[in-house]
Amino acid sequence: MTYIDPESRAKAEADGHPYASEEIIAAGYDLAGRVCRELHLAGLPADVERPEGPKQPGVWVEVDTQGEYAGGLYVRWSAPELAEAGMRAVAERQDPAAPEWKHYAEVVLLMRTALIGILRLAGFSVVRAEEVDDVAEGDVYVHADTPSSS
């Protein structure tokens, strides 16, 4: 299976942001499947993120395909209705501290704590995503070098 088409791979290389090898990306998708299975066992809906797929409530797992941590995973909690209500309140009131937005942000942080605990308990190497990518606040990052016991 080819994860990155040759044209996209060549363009990224030319722009100085090359993709990881197909082997590393394939290993990332294998890891994503194991993470989703573990989250399903814990009773959480979880799916591997696809660009064209609809956003459903639950856990979304995205394979990191570029950079130093390629093959690792971004894991995020998705609550689309809650997020939409928060964003609508912020926009309508021009208030970035709208209670609806704060409620959404707190839920995301609570779920991040739960996801970290569940995945660490299962033996995955997990950190708050900000430790890997400073703009990934609220996400969890699963390192590609997971213990073989998972």
Q: What is the pTM of this model?
A: 0.87
For strands 58-63 and 126-128, give the pairing.
unpaired
Work out the number of other CB atoms within 10 angstroms of the CB of residue 145.
10
Q: What is the pLDDT of residue 3?
A: 85
Rounded to whole angstroms, how far apart are CA atoms 20 and 40?
A: 28
Indicate the SS3 state at residue 79: coil
Query: Each residue of 82-94: pLDDT tens digit?
Result: 999 999 999 999 9
Q: What is the pLDDT of residue 51?
A: 67
Per-residue pLDDT of the chain (150 residues; tens, 9 = 90+): 788 888 888 998 899 889 899 999 999 999 999 999 999 999 999 999 876 766 789 999 999 999 888 899 999 999 999 999 999 999 999 998 999 999 999 999 999 999 999 999 999 999 999 999 888 888 999 999 644 444
Instruction: Work out the angle between the directed axes of helices 22-41 and 99-121 (0-180°, nearest 10).
Output: 100
Q: What is the pLDDT of residue 146?
A: 45
